[in-house]
Amino acid sequence: MQSLNRCLLVVLTAAVLLPGLAFADIKIGFINPIKVLEMAPQAEAARNDLEREFAQRKEDLEAEDASIKRAEEKLGRDTAIMSESERQKLERDVIARKRDVRRAKEEFREDLNLRRNDELAKLQKEVLKVINELAKEKGFDLIVGEGVVYASEAIDISEQVLQRLRQLPAPANTKSSKKPGE
């Protein structure tokens, strides 16, 4: 019985002391992924590329919306002086054009979201590479990100990661000359 008590005392002592010793030399860093993904120069470049890539389609959709609105105004204004067949033809035309624009807008949103997700995936891959390089170089044992309730400024490496991202060469324009959906 005495040896069991002694063994239990050794195990309890080890359980109390060893975790403190195990964590004594661990270097932990924190990264704010939202901040890095929003402030990285590569993110701004991707946003600008997407804006340029989709600007013409957006303008075309807006122009078609305006044209439909003018046709609806004409229909409302000139109904009394139009023949029944002209009125019906214009109504059908407006309905068909609205349907086409609705479909085109949905396709536009889908294409934009796909491209945005592609660009985000590229950026996340690049950020992860920089984080891994920084962690190895600075001797970090653990880098944590999302889901952290509190992190001291002393362990926040977000600015260091952003600095490294700023030093990377500007990405080559990788979009194809083909418009999405062609």
Let me know if residue 109 belongs to a domain. yes
By CB atoms closer than 10 A (0-12, 13-18, 19+), residue 130 is buried
**What pLDDT score does 80 carry?**
85
Output the CA angle 161-165-166, nearest 5 degrees.
115
Q: Is residue 88 part of a domain?
A: yes
CATH number reported for the structural domain that contains residue 85 in this entry: 3.30.910.20
pLDDT of residue 19: 60
Give CA 109 to chain center in angstroms: 15
DSSP secondary structure, 133-180, as one string: HHHHHHT-SEEE-TT-S---GGGB-HHHHHHHHHHSPPPP----SSPT
Res 4: pLDDT: 53
Range of the domain at 114: 26-167
Task: Say what the pLDDT of residue 28 is.
Answer: 92
- pLDDT computed for residue 68 by the predictor: 95
Is 18 a member of any domain? no
- Residue 176: inside a domain: no
- Alpha carbon distances (Å) from 87 to 27, 79, 118, 130, 151: 76, 7, 46, 63, 67
Residue 14 is assigned to a structural domain of this protein: no
What are the structure tokens assigned to 21, written together? 């010793």
Residue 94 lies in a domain: yes
What's the total number of domains in the chain?
A: 1
pTM above 0.95, yes or no: no
pLDDT along the chain (182 residues), means of 10: 54 54 76 93 95 97 96 90 91 96 98 97 95 94 89 90 90 50 44
pLDDT of residue 53: 96
Rg (C-alpha) for the chain, rounded Å, is 30
* Residue 124, in any domain of the structure: yes
Domain-located, residue 46: yes
Q: Is 24 in a helix, a strand, or coil? A: coil
